[in-house]
């Protein structure tokens, strides 16, 4: 260790030894030994590329051992005989340099770290978020309305020159190189947006949380250590991180709206069928819709101007309808955020809907979705179910067991629900919590969250309705969303409304 120049205090007794012990534990990846250096208490800090952890409990639960690296330089600044800052320049076995800054304090139990800050050299690309990325991958046509914007395309859209990966390595390995772009991709590039790259999806588009077992879970920058939301997880994280301004996704059961809510973004699911899905990897054609995410409402609307059909939608009002039974499906923190938002808007009508069939609708939605998913993917998957991650595999395995009569019954319920929902919404705008909760913590049991989330997110696909999710925050500062849903074809109205509500 080099001593600081000037009138510096001597390096206190035991610090060098403690630092060496820490480094030995780091080199051995010994997390138990490393944990002993975390100062106990709620004010201890540990920041790394995943986020800032506050409190020794969070640090011991989430902080990872540093990757293999050696120290190139070590500097010590002693502030008093019981405290010193130790700054190390690190060279990583995998290449590149990082920095480790630690505030050490002497306690009765020896030297501990009260604050740590670790930087690591970033990878070439964050492969949790991206499959391919370029500066740009494909330049936008100059002079269009989306000039200066950049698009992260979910890896279910055809991009000329690349296979469609679909979030599964085996699918990707067998997929042909596409000869043309999917319609929505081409539309954005022709409108001037640069194609930034192809972003990760949950496996075959069938998940709401973004925890892809093959490529890793994309980060949620506004809610670290929580899931990003899926299945348009890569485009959502790319937009959150400013890697792209537009995330082009698909939404079958909530795959655009859920990551929008979890990450504090704007997101739209368009009217089913409004934007062609030729060149898009299907999941459940009755519900699959094109959608996108942005960090601001004006751009969300501008993309709609480019991609949506020019034909005028049905006439409608901007009357906002809040249904207490639906609001009650959300957890208190999200409900409060939506209530506060609604209270700040004009023209909000509270209306009681008779929703006794909601559970039945949700089950019918899931059954029909699964039936369609097995119809489109079964022929390829039949011999390859073992190549899927456990959650998506379980869903496809269940899908394979659905018999035709069950599927037809479900389809009947879906049609009833569609008619009923369209009647209920009428020419107004339904206000819903986008999801019932904030983004779940990584590693938590997602099964119950999935069911509760679908109860809210299945309404738009059941009705074939467009939906726009606006970002809100809970009292604790975590992202959540409020959704505006209206009659089919009212996409532009919703986008304009979202832009006016900001």
d(CA 39, CA 19): 14
Rounded to the nearest whole angstrom, what is the least distance from the CB of residue 55 to a copy of itself in the complex?
8
What is the CB neighbour count within 10 angstroms for residue 8?
A: 11
Separation between Cα atoms, residue 45 and residue 103, nearest integer Å: 10
Closest CA to 121 of 98, 87, 100: 98
Nearest one of 40, 41, 59, 57 to 118, comparing CA atoms: 59
Candidate ranges 77-85, 299-307, 424-432, 453-461; the one touching a copy of itself (CB under 8 A): 77-85
Consecutive H or E run containing 91: strand 83-92
The size of the interface with a copy of itself (CB under 8 A), counted in residues, is 72
In whole angstroms, what is the distance from residue 199 CA to residue 111 CA? 44
Site string (192-211) toward a copy of itself, x via CB under 8 A: ----xx--------------
Please report whether residue 130 would count as binding a copy of itself according to CB under 8 A: yes
To a copy of itself, the closest distance from the beta carbon of 96 in angstroms equals: 4
**How far is Cα 255 from Cα 461, in angstroms, rounded to an integer?**
11
Residues 143-162 that bind a copy of itself (CB under 8 A): 161-162
Contact stretch for a copy of itself (CB under 8 A) within 82-90, 252-260, 367-375, 455-463 = 82-90
Cβ-based nearer residue to a copy of itself, 178 or 357: 178
Only one residue has tokens 């390829």, namely 380
Considering the complex, state which of residue 92 and residue 409 has its C-beta at the smaller distance from a copy of itself. Answer: 92
Question: Does 8 sit near a copy of itself (CB under 8 A)?
Answer: yes
Map the footprint of a copy of itself across residues 267-306, applying CB under 8 A: 295
Rounded Cα gap, residues 294 and 260, in angstroms: 8
Return the exposure string of 255-274: e unless at least 16 CB atoms fall within 10 Å of the residue's CB, then b: bbbbbbbbbbbbbbbbbbbb
Q: Which tokens belong to 149? A: 């914007």
| Residue nearer to a copy of itself on the CB measure, 14 or 139 | 139
Q: CB burial class (10 A; 0-12, 13-18, 19+) of residue 480?
A: buried
Could you say which residues in the range 448-467 bind a copy of itself, by CB under 8 A? Answer: none
Chain centroid, CA 108 distance in Å = 44
Chosen residue from 14, 68, 110, 122 binding a copy of itself by CB under 8 A: 122
Is 73 near a copy of itself (CB under 8 A)? yes
Residues 229-248 interacting with a copy of itself (rule: CB under 8 A): 238-244
Among 33, 35, 85, 385, which residue sits at the site for a copy of itself (rule: CB under 8 A)?
85
489 Rama sector, left if φ>0, alpha if ψ -120 to 50, beta otherwise:
left
Does position 103 interact with a copy of itself (CB under 8 A)? The reply is yes
Q: With respect to a copy of itself, which residue has the nearer C-beta, 97 or 409?
A: 97
The nearest distance, CB 146 to a copy of itself, in angstroms, is 18
Could you tell me if 499 and 303 are in contact, meaning their C-beta atoms sit under 8 angstroms apart? no
Spatial distance between the Cα atoms of 258 and 209, rounded to a whole number of angstroms? 8
Window 23 to 42, contacts with a copy of itself (CB under 8 A): 41-42
Binder to a copy of itself among 123, 180, 447, 448 (CB under 8 A)?
A: 123
Residue 474 sits in the site that holds a copy of itself (CB under 8 A)? no
Residue 96 near a copy of itself by CB under 8 A? yes
DSSP, collapsed to helix, strand or coil, labels residue 234 as: helix
Given candidates 213, 224, 273, 378, which one binds a copy of itself under the rule CB under 8 A? 224
Cα dist from 21 to 91, 96, 186, 313, whole Å: 19, 24, 57, 68
Q: Which is nearer to a copy of itself, 247 or 488 (CB)?
A: 247
Binding to a copy of itself (CB under 8 A) within 171-190 occurs at 173, 177
Closest CA to 464 of 249, 251, 290, 272: 272
x-or-dash string of contact with a copy of itself, 318-357, rule CB under 8 A = ----------------------------------------
Give the strand pairing for 150-154 and 194-199.
parallel
Q: Smaller CB distance to a copy of itself: residue 124 or 312? A: 124
Give the dihedral sign, CA 45/46/51/57.
negative
Task: Select the residue interacting with a copy of itself from 1, 35, 58, 89 (CB under 8 A).
Answer: 89
- Stretch binding a copy of itself (CB under 8 A), from 110-118, 322-330, 411-419, 430-438: 110-118
CA dist., res. 478 & res. 260, Å (int): 12
Asked if residue 475 binds a copy of itself (CB under 8 A), the reply is no
Q: How far is the CB of 48 from a copy of itself (least distance, A)?
A: 8
């Amino acid at each position: 260790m080099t001593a600081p120049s000037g009138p510096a205090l001597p390096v206190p007794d035991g610090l060098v030894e403690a630092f060496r012990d820490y480094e030995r534990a780091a080199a051995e990846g010994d997390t138990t030994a490393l944990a002993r250096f975390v100062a106990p208490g709620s004010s201890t800090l540990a920041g790394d590329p995943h986020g800032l952890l506050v409190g020794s409990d969070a640090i011991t639960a989430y902080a990872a051992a540093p990757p293999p690296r050696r120290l190139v330089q070590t500097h010590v600044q002693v502030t008093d005989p019981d405290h010193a800052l130790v700054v190390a320049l690190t060279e990583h076995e995998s290449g590149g340099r990082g920095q480790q800054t630690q505030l050490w304090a002497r306690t009765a139990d020896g030297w501990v770290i009260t604050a740590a800050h670790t930087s690591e050299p970033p990878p070439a690309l964050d492969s949790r978020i991206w499959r391919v990325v370029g500066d740009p991958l494909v330049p936008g046509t100059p002079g269009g309305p989306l000039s200066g914007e950049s698009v992260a395309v979910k890896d279910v859209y055809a991009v000329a020159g690349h296979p469609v990966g679909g979030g599964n390595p085996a699918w990707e390995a067998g997929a042909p190189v596409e000869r043309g772009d999917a319609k929505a991709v081409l539309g954005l590039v022709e409108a001037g947006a640069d194609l930034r790259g192809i972003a990760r999806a949950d496996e075959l588009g069938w998940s709401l949380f973004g925890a892809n077992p093959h490529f890793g879970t994309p980060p949620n920058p506004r809610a670290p250590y929580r899931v990003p939301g899926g299945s348009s997880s890569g485009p959502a994280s790319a937009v959150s991180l400013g890697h792209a301004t537009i995330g082009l996704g698909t939404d079958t059961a909530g795959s655009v709206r859920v990551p929008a809510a979890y990450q504090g973004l704007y997101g739209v699911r368009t009217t089913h069928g409004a934007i062609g899905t030729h060149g898009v990897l299907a999941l459940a054609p009755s519900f699959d819709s094109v959608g996108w995410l942005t960090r601001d409402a004006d751009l969300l609307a501008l993309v709609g101007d480019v991609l949506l059909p020019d034909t005028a939608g049905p006439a409608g009002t901007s009357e906002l309808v809040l249904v207490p039974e639906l609001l009650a499906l959300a957890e208190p923190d999200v409900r409060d955020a939506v209530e506060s938002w609604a209270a700040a808007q004009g023209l909000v009508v509270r209306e009681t809907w008779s929703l006794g069939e909601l559970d039945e609708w949700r089950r019918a939605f899931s059954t029909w979705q699964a039936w369609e998913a097995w119809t489109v993917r079964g022929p390829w998957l039949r011999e390859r179910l073992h190549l899927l991650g456990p959650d998506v595999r379980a869903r496809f395995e269940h899908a394979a067991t659905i018999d035709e009569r069950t599927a037809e019954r479900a389809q009947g319920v879906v049609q009833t629900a569609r008619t009923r929902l369209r009647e209920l919404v009428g020419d107004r705008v339904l206000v819903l919590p986008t999801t019932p909760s904030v983004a779940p913590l990584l590693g938590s049991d997602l099964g119950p969250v999935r069911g509760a989330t679908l109860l809210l997110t299945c309404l738009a696909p059941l009705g074939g309705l467009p939906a726009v999710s606006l970002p809100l925050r809970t009292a604790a500062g975590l992202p959540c969303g409020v959704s505006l849903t209206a009659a089919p074809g009212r996409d532009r109205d919703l986008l304009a409304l979202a832009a006016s509500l900001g």
